[in-house]
Chains A and B, each alone.
Chain A
Amino acid sequence: MKLNLKIMNINNPQFEVGIIGGGPAGSTLASYLSQANISCVVFEREIFPRPHVGESLVPATNRVFKELNFLETMEQAGFPHKYGAAWTAYNNKIYSHNFEGMPPDYAVDIRFDEQKTSESISNYTYHVDRGKFDQMLLEHAEKLGATVYQGVRVTNIQFSENENPKIFTSQDDKTRETSVRLVVDASGRRTILGSQLNLKIKDPVFNQFAIHTWFEGFDRGETEQKDYTFIHFLPISNSWIWQIPISETVTSFGVVTQKEHFSKKKQEREEFFWDCVKTQPKIYDKLKQAKQLRAFKEESDYSYGMKQFCGDGWILVGDAARFVDPIFSSGVSVALNSARFASHDIIRAFQEGNLDQGKFRRKHFEQYESILKRGTKNWYEFISLYYRLNVLFTRFVFDPRHRLDVIKLLSGDVYDQDEPSVLQEMRKIVTEIEQNPNHLLHKLLGNLTANAFNPS
């Protein structure tokens, strides 16, 4: 792409776009920009690979993999294919869904063998070892032309009216500054820019906590669902266990609960993990026979929003923009798709040459802002209603009247519609049960309120 020279009327920066963080959001954006020949630099604090939570994907990520020519790399990496998800209730009953009927845009359609004329289209997504996946995606961005620094920490960002934004970094006690036209915060839950600009608002409803680790040799059985994500309901309200296949032999387990259930003492928190697993005796017995591979890791204070997603000279993507809850494996998908939408606005601004004296303004991201608002609002509503419906949610997956709409949501298709009709239907049912204390399912409702929290 040829850059329009009309925009170059303030000193040219060292890079057009500076990206803070080399996780999936940062490396996806860097890949899209590099494909469009827009120079960009990525500053990653860690040296990859490094472990990370958020190992299960949804089909909406496939669209991004396809556009970045990354789908084949995903296949070659041998990550377990995820064909669906299953819920187990306390009575050991299993409710499962697969992605059949998900948006065709999200289908995996790889032609492995060039000789074959027909493409094989499959309704699946992946479970990933985030250490490996994040490294692969970052290397992909580098291969496409992005400049990538690992082990470099961003310490501060400076904006001024007469100059390009500056990113200050440090490595081995040496400080450097880099000038860019646009700063992208993809720093994940560190929310570097959101914190510096005081944009962060803690979610008043969700205050969840997670404790998780990997096990080797957990017997996932031989059924069709053995490589599904499993969500095991716990008898404590709004609490559940995730079971995510990482490889043939390794399985990730995590307990998610409200923070109030967690003790301040680390040892007691680990006991809590095992107490929760014990409520599902079959899982407990098999897990006790498996070998724990890593120390327990904890995640907290991860539910927040931002007052705005973009401004003059900056934009937030992925977790740095918003994170709600891990229940529907939406994290990586929001990272990839928000980076994709952000890249559209950035590339368009360069193509149309309509920067304001060489500067990015908030108005350049109008589309991004409205799409992301809509998407995160839909995710948030879905997650809130899910927690309120609790076990009753499984009714929606099985009701043929709603199944396809629910699958669309579970696939991560949340950006096009103002509000999917199934969310309205769920709200109607929640209200019905909520308002009638004599309703026999009244006691089953989870105790998180379904009032949406819309900071941006």
Chain B
Amino acid sequence: MNQLSIKETVKNYIQQEFLYDKPELELNDDSLLIEEEIIDSLGIFVLISFLDEQFQVKVEPQEVIAENFATLDVITSFVENKLA
């Protein structure tokens, strides 16, 4: 799976799952997902389940930190590294 499709897949998911009631909000590759509370803690948990289902990526407990989930770009490279 190439970079575009990982990013696009995650982006679509975040839009559907977390921004369905905020169509006016534009989601960029560097939007601060955690800081701007686009995704809350339960949301992170839901997103982790999604990454597992979609890409078979197992996220270890110690990896659930802002450094890996801050933006769409960051999540994408995190998933890529996991798949590499």
Interface contact B49-A444, CB-CB below 8 Å: no
In the complex, whether B41 has a CB less than 8 A from a CB of chain A is yes
Complex: A444 Cα to B46 Cα, angstroms: 12
Q: Which residues of A contact B45 (CB under 8 A)?
A: 391-392, 441, 444
Please name 26 pairs of A and B residues whose Cβ atoms are closer than 8 Å in the assembled complex, sorted by A.
A89-B42, A90-B42, A91-B17, A91-B42, A91-B46, A93-B46, A93-B49, A391-B42, A392-B45, A399-B58, A429-B61, A432-B61, A433-B61, A433-B64, A438-B65, A439-B64, A439-B65, A440-B34, A440-B41, A440-B66, A440-B69, A441-B41, A441-B44, A441-B61, A444-B42, A444-B45
Q: Which residues of A contact B41 (CB under 8 A)?
A: 440-444
Complex: A439 Cα to B40 Cα, angstroms: 12
Q: Which residues of A contact B34 (CB under 8 A)?
A: 440
Contact count band on B = 10 to 19
A: residues with CB less than 8 A from B are 89-91, 93, 391-392, 395, 398-399, 428-429, 432-433, 436, 438-444
Interchain Cβ contacts within 8 Å, total number: 43
B: residues with CB less than 8 A from A are 17, 34, 40-42, 44-46, 48-49, 52, 58, 61-62, 64-66, 69
Interface contact A440-B46, CB-CB below 8 Å: no
Task: Give the shortest distance, in Å, between A388 (CB) and chain B (any CB).
Answer: 13
Q: Which residues of B contact A428 (CB under 8 A)?
A: 61
Q: Which residues of B contact A429 (CB under 8 A)?
A: 61
Q: Which residues of B contact A91 (CB under 8 A)?
A: 17, 42, 46
Task: Give the shortest distance, in Å, between A4 (CB) and chain B (any CB).
Answer: 57
Q: Which residues of A contact B52 (CB under 8 A)?
A: 398
Interface contact B64-A441, CB-CB below 8 Å: yes
Complex: A393 Cα to B64 Cα, angstroms: 15
Q: Which residues of B contact A443 (CB under 8 A)?
A: 40-41
Q: Which residues of B contact A399 (CB under 8 A)?
A: 58
